[in-house]
Chains A and B, each alone.
Chain A
């Protein structure tokens, strides 16, 4: 599904990614962990080209998305993204947020987009908020709308960039629940998070990134119970 080969990303003289390679098969849920500044968010943002890497290859199915003739906008339609700060459009209602891209980008009919939008809202448990504006929702509700908005493009992959980091503790659960449900439906997911409970419970694989490199990856129970690398042990001892 996704194959990353030797990815490098520099911001000025700072090399944030120093050669990341991995493969994510269809239906897999990958949780990326690491200290802040380790490059894990940058890695995620490279996957839908919000950051352009200087070197390396990224394949989505068979398509090399870094190739010059690749239509970035089309790639992004297949890669949904959920942000730490939700980034809902404040001037639109919840339903309009969800319908915007299907209507404007995919040229779906208003009616079809509306039906799909309401269906997605039902799925994230916010049917009654369709006409509300983002400002009127709690953080957890906003993030669930953001997930529904990303799903409206029917992506092949969903990227989550610390989706619960900006939330109050009591709202984290409702968002993780939606994500778990999504995983159970077989969605391919790459999740950058500090929620180790979620990683243990839902992830098929955990990747630990430090200083721009994959230090260790494997099944959650291997990484959490029996890490092989010293750096992994140090990191886990700090957060667990």
Chain B
């Protein structure tokens, strides 16, 4: 047969599709856990207690200042030497991505909070609300609307970055493509195929983000 052998992609579509599902799953779990970590750390970043602020910023700076691949390898191969062995590759991958995502979400949350006009906090406090209530009822609901689009963006980044989990043998999309390549040598076809799959997922997500952004703007 002449030309590109895309039949190899079709023959393995189910195998690749399952990998794409794992890619989306691991990223979705990570962005959810990252949102929890990021909210806590993001609030800590604007805390009035200096020590809390310092701890949070060390975490954020360290994670943002080191490659995700190195973090993944540290968690997967480094932690067992400290006696912490994560058995499930999926869980290990989710943990690594969550810790990474948490730092980026923290920055999203922090800038979301700081983008809310100072007068909002003053007005809430002047009505007798304590800091926590003011955050909960006045600042965070407004900040949350603003951070949905960057959060979806973070999800998109995670979906792409999750390909690095192939390094620890997780059977996500990229890893599956590599496995087929090792057998059939159809490098170009498979990389092109998974590029298209990644793009379809991320493009759909960015459309969703755009839709949400349009909706939340109405009351802003």
Contacts and interface: CB of A to CB of B under 8 A. Distances in A.
Interface of A: 48, 50, 73-74, 76-77, 79-81, 83, 85, 87-91, 100-101, 104-106, 133, 135, 146, 149-150, 153
A73 B128 contact: yes
Contacts of B124: 89, 101
Contacts, number: 68
A101 B129 contact: yes
A109 to B, nearest CB: 17
Contacts of B127: 76-77, 100-101, 105, 149-150, 153
Contact of A91 (B119, B123, B126, B141): B141
A105 B125 contact: no
Contacts of B125: 50, 73, 76
Contacts of A85: 117, 119
Nearest to B118: A87
Contacts of A74: 128
Which of A100, A104, A105, A135 lies at the interface centre, i.e. has the most chain B CB atoms within 10 A of its CB?
Answer: A104
Contact of B128 (A87, A89, A101): A101
A90 B220 contact: yes
Contacts of B39: none
Given A91-B141, A104-B137, A135-B219, A83 B128 contact: no
Contacts of B138: 89, 100
B123 A104 contact: no
Contacts of A150: 126-127
B145 interface: yes
A50 B117 CA distance: 15
Interface in B123-162: 123-130, 133, 137-138, 141-142, 145
B174 to A, nearest CB: 41
B12 interface: no
Contacts of B47: none
A206 to B, nearest CB: 24
Interface residues of B, number: 20
B120 interface: yes
B61 interface: no
Nearest to B116: A90
Given A87-B120, A91-B145, A105 B219 contact: no
A94 B10 CA distance: 58
Which of B119, B128, B138, B219 lies at the interface centre, i.e. has the most chain A CB atoms within 10 A of its CB?
Answer: B128
Contacts of B128: 73-74, 76-77, 101, 105-106, 153
B123 A89 contact: yes
- Give me the 10 closest cross-chain CB pairs, A-B, nearest first: A77-B128, A87-B123, A101-B127, A87-B119, A81-B126, A76-B128, A105-B128, A73-B130, A73-B128, A91-B141
B18 interface: no
Given A83-B122, A90-B220, A91-B219, A104 B133 contact: yes
Contacts of B117: 85, 87
Contacts of A146: 123
A105 B136 CA distance: 13
A87 B129 CA distance: 15
